[in-house]
A = this chain, B = another copy of it.
Amino acid sequence: MTEPEENVGILESNSFSMSRLDELDGNLHDLVARREALGPCYRLFYQHPLHLVRGRGTRLFDADGTEYLDMYNNIPSMGHSNPYVTRAVTEQLGLINTHTRYVHENILDYADALLARLPQEIDRIMFMCSGSEANDLAVRCAQLYTGGEGIIVTAEAYHGNTALISGLSPSIGRDVPMSRTMRMIPTPDTFRLGTEEIGEWMCARVSEQIADMRRHGIKFAGVLFDDIFSSDGVIPGTPGFLAPVVELVHKEGGLYLADEVQPGFCRTGAGFWGFERHGITPDIVTMGKPMANGIACSAMAIRHEVLDAFAAKNPYFNTFAGNPVAMAAAKAVLAYIDEFGMLEHTRVMGEKLLGAVGEVAKAHPALGDVRGSGLFMGVDIVEPGTTEPDRALAVRLIEQLRENRVLISLCGPYGSVLKVRPPLVFDDADLDFFVGALEKSLVELGK
């Protein structure tokens, strides 16, 4: 089987190469050429990049007026250009937008609303601008509270871009040095492990890594897991399989850090938070992307006793974080979720989508595994009848889907898993359009 090491990480799975600039025409060529000013770290999706100028709900429009169904972007979770969010931001910008050293209701109302949706043990919340900043602070809190430095993540995890968190994000790229006090467990690949009951397997892997830390004189501080393992390939597994893992982590003196940047905010349909599927109570919960539908906003929710260990020594201030405008946008997202019953909508649409794609897979065995929870699915593209990943086909499939006006991308250790993650306002018409385009694309590719 292809080894994960041969791959290049999630950031490379679906990207344009500047060496192909000359293949682009006209205005697009000129715009892409101008991106040289941004330097070589920036990546564009697709071999023929998209120039998007407008969005509404689940739909995106390019400069030529072509309409696409967005099956990938989870930041505008309440829909592109959500008018509730626009109105809230505009109104607040017209009033005031200062920082948290003055009293303002927005941050308090929002903090109360989020804490009310979290287990009661998690009774403090702090705001940042990005999921990276939230994870950076969460790891430091866990380290100070436990007195340990050792953090365990999964082999294809991505948790952010700061110095500390890059070192805990193995999927960033094979050349990026990892933290010397970090240990990885393999991707909990239910498809290739042949079972969704992987709690015992996970516990064994975590135990091994704690033992390895001990051998190297590293004190265990905790695990940092995305509970649907988004960049590992979107792996829901059996609900509850993480419960014994949390128990083990606590027994070993560590903390359970739930990175809810992707599974949070109703995405999995099983609860407001992804971890609710497992009936667990994390020690720290981080969140970001969909929180404010695109306005920079993230947070770390935490047990007060864990935070106190950090706060005793460290002041913390974050200029833009929790400002009245970001909080107005975030409040609008919560209000939208409640008014339109987005959790239930996500659950219902997710079941329909899983069923429909499952049907497609019956006729197209290149779709080797179809799994998901809510509107978050992974579709493993394989050599038919095997578990052998077919990355080349996966890349051709997303390009073909783009021809058929569906935007989507890839993830997983082999870069071969379709990451299906539309805005949550996804509806029946979107479902029909997606399934039609998927079937058409597979037929066009002869699969």
Q: Say whether A90 faces chain B, with CB atoms less than 8 Å apart.
A: yes
Distance A53 CA – B315 CA, assembled complex (angstroms): 25
Contact with B along A2-38 (1 / 0, CB 8 A): 0000000101100100000000000010011011011
| A314 contacts across to B, CB distance below 8 A | 41, 166, 172-173, 175-176
Kindly report which residue of chain B lies nearest to residue A28, judged by CB atoms.
B103
A:107-133 near B, CB below 8 Å:
107-108, 111-112, 115, 123-133
Cβ-neighbour of A320 out of B31, B108, B129 (below 8 A): B129
A295 proximal to B (CB < 8 A): yes
Does A251 reach chain B (CB closer than 8 Å)? no
Instruction: Specify the chain B residue showing the minimal Cβ separation from A317.
Output: B11
- Contact status A104-B52, CB under 8 Å: yes
CB of A51 within 8 A of CB of B102, answer yes
Query: Is A302 interfacial (CB 8 A cutoff)?
Result: yes
Chain B residue numbers with a CB within 8 Å of A175 are 312-314
Is A9's CB under 8 angstroms from B315's CB? Answer: yes
Task: Tell yes or no: A281 within 8 A of B by CB.
Answer: no
Tell whether A96 pairs with B53 under 8 Å between CB atoms, given A103-B32, A311-B41, A317-B11.
yes
* A316 near B41: Cβ-Cβ < 8 Å: yes
Task: Classify chain A: how many residues form its interface, as a range.
Answer: 35 or more
Stretch at the interface among A79-87, A185-193, A272-280, A339-347: A79-87
| Cβ–Cβ contact B102 & A318, under 8 A | no
A153 within 8 A of B: no
Chain B minimum-CB-distance residue to A35:
B108
In Å, the complex CA distance between A37 and B299 comes to 13
Contacts of A53 in B (CB 8 A): 95-96, 104
Interface of A is mostly: mixed
State the CA gap A204–B9 with chains docked (Å). 46
A326 at the interface (CB under 8 A from B): yes
Per the bound structure, the CA–CA distance linking A14 and B316 in Å amounts to 15
Task: Tell which of B111, B288, B321 touches A37, judged by Cβ atoms closer than 8 Å.
Answer: B111
Proximity bits, A289-313, B CB within 8 Å = 1, else 0: 1000011100000101001101111
CB < 8 Å neighbour of A103 from B9, B50, B140, B319: B50
Bound-state Cα–Cα, A116 to B51, Å: 24
On whether the beta carbons of A55 and B96 are closer than 8 Å, the reply is: yes
Task: Please report which residues of chain A, range 128-149, place their CB below 8 angstroms from some CB of chain B when the two chains form the complex.
Answer: 128-133, 136-137, 139-140
Contact A126 B39 (CB under 8 A): yes
What is the chain B residue whose CB lies nearest that of A163? Answer: B164
User: Would you give the 0/1 interface string for A57-79, flagging 1 where the beta carbon is closer than 8 Å to chain B?
Assistant: 00010000000000001011000
User: Chain B residues near A35 (CB, 8 Å)?
Assistant: 103, 108
Give Cα distance in the complex from A267 to B338, angstroms.
Answer: 44
Question: With an 8 A cutoff between CB atoms, is A444 at the interface?
Answer: no
A89 at the interface (CB under 8 A from B): yes
Beyond contacts A37-B112, A44-B103, A49-B102: 15 other A-B pairs, Cβ-Cβ < 8 A, are A12-B315, A15-B101, A37-B111, A40-B311, A43-B101, A51-B104, A52-B104, A81-B93, A81-B94, A85-B93, A131-B319, A162-B163, A162-B164, A172-B314, A296-B326
Question: A interface vs B, CB < 8 Å?
Answer: 9, 11-12, 15, 28, 31-32, 34-35, 37-45, 49-55, 60, 73, 75-76, 80-81, 83, 85-86, 89-90, 93-105, 107-108, 111-112, 115, 123-133, 136-137, 139-140, 161-164, 166, 172-173, 175-176, 288-289, 294-296, 302, 304, 307-308, 310-323, 325-326
A-B pairs with beta carbons under 8 Å apart, 12 shown = A31-B105, A40-B307, A55-B98, A60-B98, A81-B97, A89-B89, A89-B93, A129-B133, A129-B320, A130-B320, A163-B163, A164-B164
